[in-house]
Amino acid sequence: MKKMLITGGGSGIGLGIAKYFASQGIHTIAIDSNIELEKGFHYVLSEIEKKGTFLVSDTSIWESAPEIFTRLKKMDLVPDILINNVSPRSAKDFLSEDNDSWNRTIKGTLDSAFSYSRSFINANSDTSAPRIVNLSSVNAELVGSQSPAYHVAKAGIEILTKYLAIEGKKLLPALTVNAIQAGMILQSRHHNKFYNLENSKYRNTVENYAVGGIGKEQDFCKLIEFLIASDASFINGSIIKLDGGASNQEQLSLLLETGNPKFK
């Protein structure tokens, strides 16, 4: 049985990934700093009659990755697949971003991805098709409403992806490392909020995307599924957009189509 480790796998898109791949017969391992999420993780998997592994650790600490991989080796659960998902966010803007929020986002995203990738590569000398998939965002290229640190962290994830695709492959020849640059993806936990009748303006915005709607968790998981397949061995160091073509659309036209009063 293949094994998949997901950082930040206790909630949000990480939990959605864990559930999807558990349903595909992969043993999913969630690493999360919040022990209160463990019960929910096991409950979600039990809904599809599957079991997984939940380990508590702060992935932003450098010692976290080697300690976790030591534990997984003893449990015979060294993963074939690593999903670097964790990426702390804050509500800070350019003027309010402070040292604490900056470091929390940068360390939580980049330190985690680097240290877990290195431990994964060191542990997988016998794996036939090791795969790393890093979760990025359109904010790696486009300025949006997220914090300054989030934009910088996601840009860092993308160059780290390219670096690992070259340097990591020297140590682990069968390795591939790719990143998904995601746009707006509707997570299961936000479904009711998104389709609330009072949320029509927000919903109308994404319905003007080129594909006519918002991305779903399944879209995300299907792309990961392709990237981790043995048939995808020639895809390496790629940053793949998953935004329905939204980032290709000229933004003023999009604002006009959504009826933004500032542009009437």
Report pLDDT digits (tens) over 103-132.
999 999 999 999 999 999 999 877 789 999
Give the separation between CA 121 and CA 237, rounded to whole angstroms. 15
> Strands 239-242, 215-216: parallel, antiparallel or unpaired by DSSP?
unpaired
Show the tokens assigned to 1.
């049985």
Is 133 in a helix, a strand, or coil?
strand
Q: Check pLDDT > 90 for residue 258.
A: no
**126 phi and psi angles, rounded to 5 deg:** -100, 0
Place of tokens 């930040």: 8
Q: Check pLDDT > 60 for residue 254.
A: no
Question: For residue range 176-197, what is the model confidence (pLDDT) as tens digits?
Answer: 999 999 877 665 655 566 666 6
Give the separation between CA 146 and CA 91, rounded to whole angstroms. 7
Confidence of residue 252 (pLDDT cuts 50, 70, 90): low
CA 27, chain centre distance (Å):
18
Show the tokens assigned to 219.
């879209």
- Cα–Cα distance list, 60 to 7, 68, 70, 86, 124 (Å): 10, 13, 17, 9, 22
The radius of gyration of the chain from alpha carbons, rounded to an integer in Å, stands at 19
Q: In this structure, which long-range contacts are made by residues 143-147, counting pairs with CB atoms below 8 Å and at least 24 apart in sequence? A: 146/89, 147/89, 147/90, 147/91, 147/92, 147/93, 147/97, 147/101, 147/105
CA 71, chain centre distance (Å):
23
Question: For residue range 64-102, what is the model confidence (pLDDT) as tens digits?
Answer: 999 999 999 999 999 999 999 998 888 899 999 999 999
- What residues have CB less than 8 Å from 118, skipping those under 6 apart? 65
Show the tokens assigned to 104.
């929390």
- Cα–Cα distance list, 64 to 54, 103, 216 (Å): 14, 17, 31
Confidence of residue 264 (pLDDT cuts 50, 70, 90): very low
Query: What is the residue type of 226?
Result: F
Say how many residues make up the chain.
Answer: 264
Give pTM, 2 decimals.
Answer: 0.89
Residue ranges and CATH numbers for the domains of the chain are 3-189+214-253 (3.40.50.720)
